[in-house]
Amino acid sequence: MEHFDNWSTAIDVVSSQFYDDRPGKASAVKYLILFEYTLRNGEGSTYTHPVYHKFVANPENAVTEPIRELSVDMGVRPSSAPYITWTSIKGNVGTIVVSAGTSNSIFINRTLGEGGWQEVKTMAGRAYSREAKIPANDMGYLHLAGGAEEGQSSPSQILAKVMDFEAALQRLGRE
């Protein structure tokens, strides 16, 4: 059994010189790190939470890699509480799947975060840090799970949906 007694020095993955900029909620898969970058709108007290990503070939140099905002060709910009997963389905390097807190859709990329992202509509509701996972026993499906929507103060139901991910990718290829 492996023990985790020895840790390397902590490193920054993303940082800002401005206190009000709050990059966070990072998750990673393969060589791609995904995070929201909370930004204050001008001098006001409102914030936006766009989702960014960076490709990191060497984790020791993560902070020096450029960041890119995740945006879909049609202009959609996922926002808030991102979650990322990877599947070997489709593409030479598989498919990256991103869920974001303000959208019912998922967002996919088949080039390890380089190039364009595509939006895939789902029947699942929005949820804060909505989990997206490919079940180990059935790689053709995507499981989406979460709790309340961001900012919701009243109790909510727990979200659990399973979608035929392979069929959704086939439909996307025909559009």
Give tens-digit pLDDT for 76-127. 888 778 889 988 887 678 899 999 888 888 999 988 888 889 999 888 877 7
- What predicted TM-score, i.e. pTM, was given to this entire model? 0.82
Q: What's the token pair of residue 71?
A: 């945006």
Please name which of 78, 83, 91, 105 lies closest in space to residue 26, comparing C-alpha atoms: 83
Would the pLDDT of 164 be above 90?
Answer: yes
Looking only at the bridges linking them, the beta strands covering 83-87 and 95-99 are: antiparallel
Of the candidates 141, 161, 124, 167, the residue with the CA atom closest to the CA atom of residue 85: 141
Give 30-64 pLDDT, tens digit per residue.
778 888 887 777 666 777 788 888 888 887 788 88
Domain ranges of the chain: 22-174
Average pLDDT in the chain: 81
**CATH class for the domain made up of 22-174:** mainly beta
What pLDDT band is residue 148 in, cutting at 50, 70 and 90?
Answer: low
* 12-23: pLDDT as tens digits: 777 777 777 777
CA distance 102 to 81: 8
63 touches 75 (CB < 8 A): no
Enter the DSSP assignment of 112.
T
